[in-house]
Amino acid sequence: MNDLAVVVLAAGRGVRMRSDLPKVFHQVLGEPMLTHVLKTVGRLDPAKILVVVGHQREMLMDHYREWPVEFVVQAEQKGTGHAVMQAGPGLKDFLGTVLVVAGDVPLLSAETMRKLLDFHRKNRAAATDLTAELPDGGNYGRIVRQAGGELLKIVEKKDASPEELAIREINTGTFAFDKEALFAALTEVRSENVQKEYYLTDTIEILRRQGKKVFAFQTSDPAETLGVNTRDELAEIEKLLRQRREVV
């Protein structure tokens, strides 16, 4: 897709993994999580794939030096919004849709991403968030919709009210954006939150304020969107991926 670029967020350390490895370099079925993600987004045939690296970036850049990807350095980890900002120069001459995906979601399928992109384009949206409904929203950002179904805002757990914490539809961290709308909105993101970080999710309210259309697209398979923050979660992801391969 000449009108598709992918930004993969892979800069984090993953403190709770109890390892100095970049989080995305921990293995699932013999391959780093990031490898699973890059293979999947490669099936979308994007014009370019930009990988945002930070912690132990030399390790990642060396491992993937033969891959058809471009590396973007986030020297200080100041949040997802800040990470995507670093990809701006690499997308200077690109026009179209930017898919933002985390490097620690090895179960996410190309089919689900295609459905997200089709929905995004059909609705001519400035932004579309891939969401999932879970029995318990846990540590994920909550999806607040308006009556017509359009996305109103995404509230991070640490900033959520008790009513918002009760919401079961969550942000998966995968987004489709119109490129121009995305980078215009990022210039207005501020770090006025508990974490003092620049949240990519804040672009949703900014785009709405600008009168642009933003949507949420809910996946039918929440397990696909599970990320990894701990070794227990890594083991669970590996178990799920093995089961899926056995089914295939």
Q: Is 16 a known active-site residue? A: yes
Helix axes 179-186, 202-209, angle to 10 degrees: 100
- Indicate which residue of 16, 114, 168, 244 is catalytic: 16
Radius of gyration of the chain (CA): 17
Decide if 47 contacts 57 (C-beta within 8 A).
Answer: no
Decide if 149 contacts 135 (C-beta within 8 A).
Answer: no
- The three-state DSSP-derived secondary structure of 93-143 is CCCCEEEEEECCCCCCCHHHHHHHHHHHHHCCCCEEEEEEECCCCCCCCEE
Tokens of 138: 């846990």
Catalytic site residues?
16
